[in-house]
Amino acid sequence: MTAPTLPGPPPTAEPVDFETYSNYGDPSAPSRGGLFRHSAQGDTIRPPYPIQGRIRAGAPEPGADRSADPAHTTGAQLAGQFPAAPDRYVLYVSLACPWAQRQLIVRQLKGLQEVIAVAVVDPIRDARGWAFRPGRGLTLDPYNHFTFLSQAYNATIPDFPGHVSVPVLWDTTTRQIVSNNFPDISLDLGSEFDQWAANPGLDLYPADLRGEIDALNDRIYRTVNNGVYQAGGATTQQAYDRAVTALFETLDDLESRLGDNRHLFGDRLTEADIRLWVTLARFDAVYATHFKTNRRRLVDYPNLWDYARRLYQQPAFHETTDFDQIKRHYFITHAHLNPHRIVPIGFEADWTAPTRR
């Protein structure tokens, strides 16, 4: 058992229907906060992630009014603290989404598969957003019987007006979203459930490196994780040029950094490696073509490609990676970039090839 379920079979969402409901993110459709909005200069503006509760070992139960909680210091709509406990929380994820895969990797590295439950949405979404449908690598929702993830948001903030995103960490006790703020979720999974973890000794965010990890994570987020979206979503040449230049400057620096190191911080696997890796995993399969980040491919970087394969060959990485779902999500969902929804065959790449280290 990893979380209480509701009686009876969970329902299934209606099939994807672009003709009736339009495309996800279409400003004329009722998608309530699409991904690609832009500044006057053509830069992509990522929507906010306003539900920012935290898991804390020993925390009391959250009050009814989370916004009045003294821990509410982030400016988020909802903050507050929730107690760490087994068999209580559910991760709602998409295997296609890099922000969501981070959580699955940390969950498996820490050995929390029997502590934190998971439900997996369909990678294809029309304007109604993420949905629960049957299929290979997908699940329905036995925990709440939601058919669309928007129902979780509306249960937490009535008539939620924003971007319905994954990952979501859901609390089955108070029946609300703890957080949709992906950087916080993985940090809490990596530290607050050690009492029940199969691998409690793994510290992905060690105190002696936190300042350096935070600085590198900030750069990787701005120029790589979000940088590919900045390039792909740019609506002016200048915005695209800025994004793609910063992206490859960082990749070049990371290539040098990994010349003598197994990981970004020597021999220690940290949160920074996980945050970088999920973008590398999608780089040649999607971003190099779909987002036009094509100055070089991942396979053209000897050190980065070796590093990416070495991590992939660990179960927590390859068992949470589904290249088919990744490709279908991006190329079918983003009709403004790929109006005929053709999924390309992609570059050949052997992720299982031997590595140097």
Q: What is the set of active-site residues? A: 97, 229
Beta partners for residue 54, in sequence order: 81
3-state secondary structure the chain: CCCCCCCCCCCCCCCCCHHHHCECCCCCCCCCCCCCEECCCCCEECCCCCEECEEECCCCCCCCCHHHCCCCCCCCCECCEEECCCCCEEEEECCCCHHHHHHHHHHHHHCCCCCCEEEECCCCCECCCCECCCCCCCCCCCCCCCCECHHHHHHHCCCCCCCCCCCEEEECCCCEEEECCHHHHHHHHHHCCCCCCCCCCCCCCCHHHHHHHHHHHHHHHHHHHCHHHHHHHCCCHHHHHHHHHHHHHHHHHHHHHCCCCCECEECECCHHHHHHHHHHHHHHHHHHHHCCCCCCCHHHCHHHHHHHHHHHCCHHHHCCCCHHHHHHHHHHHCCCCCCCCCCCCCCCCCCCCCCCC
Q: What angle do CA 223, 225, 227 make, to 5 degrees?
A: 40
